[in-house]
Structures are given as C-alpha cells and as structure tokens.
Amino acid sequence: MKIDRLPNGSLTRSAKPFKRLAVIGSGAFGTALAQIAAQADTQVSLWSRRAEVATEINKTLRNSAYLPNVQLSPSITAADDLKTVLRDADAALLVVPSKAIRETARALRADIPAGIPIAVCAKGIEAETGMLMSQIVEDELPGHTVGALSGPTFASELAAGHPSAATLAFTFDQADRLDPENSAAARMAVTLATSAFRTYLSDDLVGVEIGGAVKNVIAIACGMMRGAGFAENTRAALITRGLDEMKALAEALGGRRETVTGLSGIGDLTLTCSSTTSRNMSLGLQLGQGLDRKACFDGKPIVVEGEANAKSVADLARKLAVPMPICETVRAILHDGHPIAETFARLWSEPIESEPRAMSLTFEHPAPFATSSIFKEIAT
C-alpha cells in the first residue's frame, strides 16, 4: 500500500484497478464507458443485445448504430452472449435502460463471477416497487457490492475525450473505511480514470441515485417551457427549484442534501436541462412546440428515461409525503393528459413559500390561477 501526503497535509492513497471489466450494454453510454476503461489499460468485454452490433465492434472497432465516428480501442471485445462477456471479469458496469435493469440483472445470475462489484449506470426509480436501480440489482444479485455511476456525461463527448467528471457511489462499511484503497469504490474509480475522465467518490448511494432519477424529469419541464417560447429566466427557476425537489426526496430516503449539490445532482441537472443533446430536454422541447408524443423524434421509438420516471418519481414522493410540484406537473402532462398551458400556469400560481426551509412560511398567491396569464400564449 502506498500513501503519500499532499502539500496541504491530506493523504493520497494508491488503489489497484480491476484488470478485466464487463460492460453490460452496448448503447452509446455503455460503449463510451467501455472506451474510457480501455483507455485506462483495462481489458473490456462489452455485451450487446444485438449480435450485429457485437460483430461490427469486433470487426471494425466501431459502433455505428449508437456511437458513430468513434474509433474504439482494440482492447474492447464484444459478444451477444453474457457467459462470454462475464468470463473472468473482476468487476462489471450495468449500462442498460432503467426499465431493463431487473430483467438484465436476473439474466446475469447464472454466469456472473461470485462477489464481483457492480456499478449501475442507469438512472431511475422502478414504477412497481419504488426501488432505486442499485436496490433492484441487490435484490436480483445478492452477494455483490453494488454502486452507481452518475454525473454530467453525454456519451459522445466522453468517447471523444472531452474532459468530464462523474460521481461513483458505493456504500462504505467499516472494512472499507479502515482499508479504503481496497474498497470497490476506489478500485472502480481508478479503473475508469483517464487523463480526461475524473471520478469522485461518494458513500451516499441514495443521494447520487436520486439526483440521476429526478434530473431527467426536470429536464423535460425545461424543454417544455423552452419549446413554448420561454427563455432563460424560466429555465433557471425550474433548475433551481428542481434541485430543491431533488434534495427533499433524497433526504426523505436517507440520503444527504449535500450530495445533490455535486456532480450527480446539480452537475447532471444543469447539463441535461441546457442541451437538446439530452433526450429528456429534446422531448420536452418538442411537446412544448405542440407536437403529439407519437410524432416526437420523427416518430422513432426513442427511449426517454424521464418519461417513465416522471410517474415513478412523483408516485414515490406521494408515498413519502414529499412535495415535488415540478415533477407532479410533468407527470400530469405526460401521464394524465393535462394540457401544458394550464398545468404550468397552475404551477406558477401555487402558494408563495419561503426558500429557507427554516422559515416555514406559506402565503396565498395573489394572482388567481388562470390560463389568461402569460401561459395562455402556449395554448394559442
């Protein structure tokens, strides 16, 4: 074990990276993470549900379906067979859509090496159970240390080598605190660390995952308002108050409000709410412009994580009695058929509240709810 002391007196430790990493999921983000790990001198096996994608990667070192124009590392091998991909792996990244997490984790049971750590890279809350993604994996794969990777990371920019950072969260038990350089979190962090990609550690798994789940819903709200013709004031208000909703839900589940001010919270929220590279922002934008949901993305069946999570997040918040008015607004529009203009007008006419929670003040709003306000312009 190597421990050095920095000029400010703090200690820096040396952790050993994993040698062979299994990446489950060959979409854009899974492929980008495989590329990152390969650049860090890790042997990477990449699983694809589609055999033709695996074949293309092995033959041409490209994934034209999900990450075009990126030349992949020759140390990445792909297969559509889980047994092949998992053979001899000493760690795994689970990078499939949130709705496929339980099914995929269950499929890993037969072949995943005993006890290897798993980092979940999907963001969301399971509709039927209210469980976080890591909790689903723990449920399906007992005996594995499960964490989560989350942060402001567009796949195309990761793969292109743009300087980026994310938070890697694992629960730290006593053994991890006494021997942190051998913890799953530290070893996974150095496995993914390159000159362009930084990972920050957290022991607040709940806080990190809540940030990832809620930010997609807030991004849809920002997109709707931008599509309807509103500008930066509106987006800034939604981001800031959306951050408060994140903090409240994380805290109610045992997470820390502080975590949500980091990369996996406000970092990811800011990115996702600022660019139509985000599918969530893009969906909201198109809906705000008046497109029917079926016509969005030129009618292509694009998976938008925040769409399903608008319901699962709001439902979980209701069970915990946590007010989340922005998420409730998006849920009402996407899942209950409420009109955008009326629903956002109602949001802006909610009672006036104090921003510091300690003040605990609420006043009746003097402007009665009505779509005759500025929001009427959306409807017309």
Is the pLDDT at 301 greater than 60? The verdict is yes
Can you tell me the distance from the alpha carbon of 366 to that of 93, in angstroms, rounded to the nearest whole number? 51
The pLDDT, as a whole number, for residue 13 is: 81
What pLDDT score does 8 carry? 55
Q: Kindly tell me if the per-residue pLDDT of 122 is higher than 70.
A: yes
Per the rule left: phi > 0, alpha: psi between -120 and 50, beta: everything else, 61 is left
3-203 CATH:
3.40.50.720
Confidence band of 358 (pLDDT split at 50, 70, 90): confident
Q: Where are the domains of the chain?
A: 3-203, 213-379
Asked whether the beta carbons of 288 and 282 are under 8 A apart, the reply is no
Q: Residue 265 carries which DSSP code?
A: I
Mean pLDDT of 153-162: 95
How high is the pLDDT of residue 357? Answer: 82
pLDDT higher than 90, residue 29: yes
Q: How far is CA 180 from CA 151, 169, 171, 185, 345, in A?
A: 22, 13, 12, 8, 50
Residue 124 pLDDT > 90: yes
Per-residue pLDDT, averaged over 292-296, amounts to 96
pLDDT-derived band at 305 (thresholds 50, 70, 90) equals very high
Exposed e or buried b per residue across 46-75, where buried means at least 16 C-beta atoms within 10 angstroms of its C-beta: bbbeeeebbebbeeeebbeebbeebebbee
Backbone phi, then psi, for 13, in 5-degree steps? -110, 165
| Residues 368-375, mean pLDDT to the nearest whole number | 64
Q: How confident is the model at residue 298 (pLDDT cuts 50, 70, 90)?
A: very high
- Across 119-131, average pLDDT: 96
Percent of the chain with pLDDT over 70: 94
Tell me the pTM: 0.92
Q: Say if residues 48 and 54 touch (Cβ distance below 8 Å).
A: yes
- Coil vs helix vs strand at 21: strand
Q: What is the pLDDT of residues 182-197, one digit of tens each?
A: 999 999 999 999 999 9
**123 noted as active-site residue:** no
Does domain 213-379 sit in CATH 2.60.300.12? Answer: no
Of the candidates 19, 123, 215, 300, the residue annotated as catalytic is 215
Q: Please write the tens of the pLDDT for every residue from 257-267.
A: 999 999 999 99
Q: What is the mean pLDDT of the chain?
A: 93
